[in-house]
Chain A
């Protein structure tokens, strides 16, 4: 299958590069505006004032320091799960199994965090992050390996692996690893207050946000400015050309999947170590699926993932306000996301259609 990467070859002139950059900014933003209009029509049809809905989304997500903290708190795991889609996409794979890597990474982190009781918090946190990244990375790399060595479609296998991961998670949390003290809500043993990841200085937002931003910047550098990233993009652009050039396609596929999965696994560790303090069913909150949406809107660009994840996080943060003020169901955000996703994907067809965005020498 082909992904609309299209940027493997940089245009020759700086102004042409600007035109390409403008194209991949204007089209998604335009599509988002169209999606908002469609959602507004939907809201009007069921008798709600669309302007009031959008005002509440702004109020609940972006209007105050408190709203921003709520938004960033939600954006942190989504930034990481979006990388689970964006990195394999560089090598031409559509992986949608971030949710599975997240829950298993979170489970592994909770086990290690509990076992490391008595160690210094920093050592324990590094151990939790590492184990979560290894578990999540291996989980997604398995889908990549199936793709490369057995020709199994990675989209379907990664999704099946998510269902299996959630079943394993439920089995362990409600069975062998259950804290006997957790009666109403089955959970693993708590990692303890001392082991928790704290807040960023001066804000009520945990360190997970910083992990995500650092991970994104590192991935951006990796993809754009290193030989490995260049090789990945060649594999994504044309597998046969990559083979002819002597690239180790299988290795590259595995690396991109492992890195993506480790990002999602780290998201699970963040949720456990910064929010819940143990692994329980709250981990299965759909962050993996939100990450798919974010990565596609960001056109699989690791840097663009950050603002898009904040936007999606803000919409999620306003959900409670929408439910209370307008008596809307909690699936309202899902509908908005679904409409946005469909319009963004349909807008793929517009790339290369507008003359103003095309490199100048092509027209002569």
Chain B
């Protein structure tokens, strides 16, 4: 059965779920880091590093899930590095993030050179669309387990920030380091841990890129998802659940170009690909204000001041 023009929304739907998963993980990681009062602009580097290490391990061991785990650990290590350097007095976290972006992509390209050609085993999909007769609908409803884990994680983080001791400590450190210090908490230690766990999530987001969609490792794999996640978290007002909705929106914007190309609209291909960046910028222009802090922003965050 040929869907004709209906193929566009179906393809956008399927694309949205696929494209949004890395956004979801990276933005949840960034959300956690920013809740603790630091900003990590280096998630882009962590994402690429995660994509490379996940693919490499999957190729060498034959187990894609081990690859996902190693990608997370690589992200954890880089997050730890960022967190510890930023704990030194008078070190600017935004600048260190730019440095980490450079270091992460450099290391990934360097170490990932041997993995550009070979084909590694990738993650399996869950077929939710087998009831449909149309192959387009079937392929659109192939969902990866990581997407479902990401949704659960968004709900769990929302709950944890509200209801657990750890969530409260992270939020307090992010809103007022003085208050946290007065309560006897080590501000830097909380922030280092939050950045490291955020890096872990971003690394997993990267492994999705190389192990599921697009499903290969090359140097042009990431198109700035790690950076857009920073804007996405601002858009989501530092709420994990809103991060999920925002990730879907960005995934949809990113899926538009390829979907239109599949029905033969190729002129303006590059302009459609720029849609997520324009969307991010438009959102930031609409939501930021020079006179006050953003509603919901952690008080210690440098990026909103």
Contact = CB atoms under 8 A, between A and B. Distances in A.
Contacts of B103: 335, 338-339, 341-342
B277 interface: yes
Contacts of A342: 81, 85, 96, 99-100, 103
Interface in A43-74: none
Contact of A349 (B88, B228, B274): B88
Interface residues of B, number: 51
A358 interface: no
B258 interface: no
A204 interface: no
Most chain-A CB neighbours within 10 Å: which of B107, B223, B291?
Answer: B107
A171 interface: yes
A40 to B, nearest CB: 15
Nearest to B305: A1
Interface stretch (B6-14, B56-64, B265-273): B265-273
Interface residues of A, number: 49
Contacts of B104: 338
The binding surface of chain A is classed by DSSP as: helix
A168 interface: yes
A8 to B, nearest CB: 16
A159 B228 CA distance: 10
Contacts of A351: 90
A170 B81 CA distance: 36
A351 B89 CA distance: 10
A157 interface: yes
A94 B280 contact: no
Nearest to B116: A329
Nearest to B100: A342
A146 B92 contact: no
Contacts of B92: 1-4, 94, 345, 348
Given A151-B291, A338-B103, A171 B88 contact: no
Contacts of A164: 274, 277-278, 281
Given A150-B290, A159-B227, A329-B110, A346 B285 contact: no
B91 A334 contact: no
Interface string B66-101: 000000000000000100010011111011101110
Interface string A142-164: 00001011111101110111011
B231 interface: yes
Nearest to A339: B103
Interface stretch (A187-195, A222-230, A289-297, A312-320): A289-297
Contacts of B278: 164
B288 A151 contact: yes
Nearest to A142: B281
A152 B235 CA distance: 12
B109 A345 contact: no
A168 B96 CA distance: 29
B228 to A, nearest CB: 8
B303 interface: yes
A1 B277 contact: no
A318 to B, nearest CB: 16
B230 interface: yes
Given A289-B102, A342-B103, A150 B288 contact: yes
A331 interface: yes
A224 to B, nearest CB: 23
B106 interface: yes
Given A164-B277, A335-B107, A346-B91, A341 B98 contact: yes
A289 B104 CA distance: 14
A293 B98 CA distance: 9
A96 interface: yes
Interface string A6-33: 0000000000000000000000000000
Interface string A85-104: 00000000010100000000
Contacts of B85: 342, 345-346
Interface string B184-225: 000000000000000000000000000000000000000110
Most chain-A CB neighbours within 10 Å: which of B103, B110, B271, B273?
Answer: B110
A296 B109 contact: no
B98 A4 contact: no
A167 B106 contact: no
A2 B277 CA distance: 27
B134 interface: no
Contacts of B81: 342
B109 A334 contact: yes
B288 A296 contact: no
Interface in A120-177: 146, 148-153, 155-157, 159-161, 163-164, 167-168, 170-171, 174-175
A233 B204 CA distance: 42
Contact of B99 (A332, A336, A341): A341
A301 interface: no
Contacts of A278: none
Contacts of A292: 98
Contacts of B289: 150-151
7 contacts: A94-B94, A150-B284, A156-B231, A292-B98, A335-B103, A335-B107, A338-B99
Given A167-B273, A331-B113, A349-B88, 11 more contacts: A3-B92, A152-B284, A152-B288, A164-B277, A175-B268, A292-B98, A334-B109, A335-B103, A339-B103, A342-B81, A348-B90
